[in-house]
C-alpha cells in the first residue's frame, strides 16, 4: 500500500465517527477525495465523490463511515457515568476497557469501564451496557457535568497500529476500511477513461439505522450498487466452521444469496479472473446486514452486490484486517467498473 493511502487510512481510524456523529471523519474523507473527484454531501451526512457525472449509467459504491459506540445515559452524584449502546456493542468485552467521552463542552473526557467485585465470578456474567459504569476519576457528578451530559458519545480508546507490517489493528475497522476502500477505488478510477458515472459514498448510520445508505440510493438512483463492508473470519482458533470459510489474505469475499444480483457477481468474478485474484464466497441467504439491504429497496429497486473485507475480532477495540486484502478489493472494484460499457443489462432473466 502506498504511503499516502496508508496515512489516509490511519487518519480515518484515528478520527471519531460514532453512528450519528460521523461529521469529523467525513471532513477528513472529503478533503482527501476532492483532490481527484467532485464532492458533495447530503442531509443524512453522507460524503460523496463523483467521477464522470454526465454518463447515463450510474454506479454506486458504498462504504459506511460510522463505528459502534455508546452514549451517556446518566451521571450520578458521585461522578460515575452510566451508558447505553449505539451499535453492536458486546457487553462481555467491556469490564476494564479504556474509553473516551466526546463531551458537549468540546473536551474529550477519558475514563475506564469499572466493575464491582461480584462481577469477578460470584454472579452470572453481565451482558448489558446498562449494567456497567464509567469511572472518569471525578469525585462528584456536579464537576463532571460541566464537561459531559446525557447523549454524549463514548468510544473505545484504541489507536491504530501495524502488526508484522501488514495487519492493521484498531477499533472501527468496521467499517472505516469500507469508507477508505471506496475512496481509494475512486482515486484509481480517476486515472482511467470511464464510460459510466461513479458515485463513491462514505455513508452514515449503518451500525444503527442505515439512514445514509437509504438516502444515497434514493437520491443518486444508481443503475447498480456495490456495498463494501467487512465480514467475520473463520481462521482463528475456536471458530465454528458451520459457515463458508473466510480467511485473511485469501482474497475478497463476495456474497451470494437472495439480496445479491447474480450478474454483478459475474462481472466481479470475471475481473478477479483477469487479475488472477483469488476470491472467497460467503452466504447471505436472506439479508446482508449491510448498506446493500437499504440501497436494494430504494427507488424502483437497485441491483446490488457485496464485497467484504475479512476481519478478525469484529466489534471490539482490537479488530484486525490485512492491508493486502484492502489493496486487492480496491483493484477488484476498479477493474470491474473500468470494464463497464454503460450498456449492461443486469436483469437476471430477460423476456
The answer to whether position 227 is within a domain reads: yes
For residue range 33-52, list pLDDT tens digits in order: 999 999 999 999 999 999 99
The answer to whether position 348 is within a domain reads: no
CA angle 11, 24, 48 (to 5 degrees): 90
Assign residue 76 the CATH number of its domain: 2.40.30.40
Whole-Å CA distances, 251 to 1, 69, 100, 187, 233:
16, 29, 35, 21, 12
**Does 228 lie in the same domain as 189?**
yes
**Does 229 lie in the same domain as 317?**
yes
Query: Cell digits for 102?
Result: 466526546
**Does 200 lie in the same domain as 244?**
yes
Which residue in this structure is represented by grid cell 480496491? 330
The answer to whether position 165 is within a domain reads: no
**Which pTM does this prediction carry?**
0.95
**Does 313 lie in the same domain as 200?**
yes
Residues of the chain with pLDDT > 70: what percent?
Answer: 96
| Number of domains observed in the structure of the chain | 2
The answer to whether position 294 is within a domain reads: yes
**Does 289 lie in the same domain as 227?**
yes
pLDDT band at 338 (very low <50, low <70, confident <90, very high): very high
For residue range 226-267, list pLDDT tens digits in order: 999 999 999 888 875 667 889 999 999 999 999 999 999 999
Which residue in this structure is represented by grid cell 438516502? 215
Query: Cell digits for 260?
Result: 445479491
For residue 124, pLDDT over 70 is answered with no
Question: What pLDDT sits at residue 67?
Answer: 98
**Does 319 lie in the same domain as 193?**
yes
Domain that holds residue 82: 69-156
Provide φ and ψ at 51, rounded to 5°. -125, 140
Whole-Å CA distances, 342 to 54, 91, 111, 198, 224:
12, 47, 53, 11, 11
Reference 348, options 265, 275, 263, 291; nearest CA is 263
The answer to whether position 345 is within a domain reads: no
Q: What is the C-alpha end-to-end distance of the chain, expressed in Å? A: 45
Top-confidence residue, 245 or 311: 311
Q: Which residues, including other chains, have CB under 8 Å from residue 190's CB and lie 6 or more apart?
A: 36, 37, 51
For residue range 113-122, list pLDDT tens digits in order: 998 766 555 5
The answer to whether position 254 is within a domain reads: yes
**Does 324 lie in the same domain as 229?**
yes
The answer to whether position 288 is within a domain reads: yes
**Does 334 lie in the same domain as 240?**
yes
**Does 17 lie in the same domain as 34?**
yes
**Does 63 lie in the same domain as 74?**
no
CA atoms of 161 and 168, how far apart (whole Å): 6
Domain stops at, among 132, 156, 180: 156
CA atoms of 168 and 166, how far apart (whole Å): 6
Which residue in this structure is represented by grid cell 453481565? 126
The answer to whether position 344 is within a domain reads: no
Domain stops at, among 156, 187, 215: 156
**Does 78 lie in the same domain as 52?**
no
For residue 329, pLDDT over 60 is answered with yes
Assign residue 262 the CATH number of its domain: 3.40.630.10
Residues of the chain with pLDDT > 90: what percent?
Answer: 91
Amino acid at each position: 500500500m502506498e504511503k499516502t493511502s496508508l496515512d489516509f487510512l490511519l487518519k480515518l481510524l484515528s478520527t471519531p465517527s460514532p453512528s450519528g456523529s460521523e461529521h469529523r471523519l467525513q471532513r477528513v474523507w472529503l478533503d482527501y477525495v476532492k483532490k481527484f473527484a467532485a464532492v458533495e454531501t447530503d442531509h443524512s451526512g453522507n460524503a460523496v465523490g463523483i467521477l464522470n457525472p454526465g454518463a447515463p449509467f450510474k454506479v454506486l459504491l458504498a462504504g459506511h463511515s460510522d463505528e459502534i459506540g455508546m452514549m451517556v445515559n446518566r451521571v450520578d452524584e458521585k461522578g460515575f457515568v452510566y451508558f447505553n449502546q449505539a451499535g453492536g456493542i458486546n457487553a462481555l468485552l467491556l469490564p476494564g476497557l479504556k474509553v473516551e467521552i466526546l463531551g458537549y463542552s468540546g473536551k474529550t473526557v477519558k475514563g475506564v469501564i469499572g466493575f464491582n467485585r461480584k462481577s469477578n465470578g460470584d454472579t452470572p456474567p453481565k451482558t448489558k451496557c446498562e449494567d456497567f459504569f464509567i469511572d472518569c476519576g471525578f469525585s462528584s457528578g456536579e464537576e463532571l457535568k460541566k464537561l459531559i451530559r446525557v447523549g454524549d458519545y463514548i468510544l473505545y480508546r484504541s489507536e491504530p497500529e501495524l502488526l508484522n507490517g501488514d495487519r492493521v489493528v484498531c477499533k472501527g475497522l468496521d467499517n472505516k476500511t469500507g469508507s477508505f476502500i471506496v475512496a481509494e477505488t475512486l482515486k484509481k478510477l480517476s486515472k482511467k477513461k470511464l464510460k459510466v458515472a461513479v458515485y463513491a459514498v462514505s455513508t452514515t448510520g449503518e451500525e444503527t439505522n442505515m439512514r445514509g445508505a437509504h438516502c444515497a440510493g434514493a437520491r443518486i438512483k444508481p443503475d447498480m450498487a456495490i456495498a463494501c463492508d467487512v465480514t467475520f473470519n473463520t481462521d482463528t482458533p475456536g471458530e465454528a466452521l458451520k459457515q463458508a470459510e473466510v480467511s485473511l489474505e485469501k482474497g475478497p469475499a463476495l456474497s451470494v444469496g437472495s439480496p445479491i444480483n447474480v450478474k454483478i457477481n459475474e462481472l466481479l468474478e470475471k475481473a478477479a479472473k483477469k487479475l488472477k485474484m483469488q476470491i472467497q464466497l460467503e452466504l447471505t441467504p436472506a439479508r446482508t446486514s449491510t448498506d446493500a439491504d437499504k440501497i436494494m429497496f430504494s427507488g424502483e429497486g437497485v441491483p446490488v452486490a457485496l464485497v467484504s473485507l475479512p476481519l478478525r475480532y469484529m466489534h471490539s477495540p482490537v479488530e484486525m484486517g490485512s492491508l493486502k486484502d484492502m489493496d486487492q478489493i480496491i483493484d477488484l472494484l476498479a477493474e470491474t467498473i473500468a470494464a463497464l460499457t454503460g450498456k449492461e443489462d443486469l436483469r437476471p432473466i430477460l423476456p
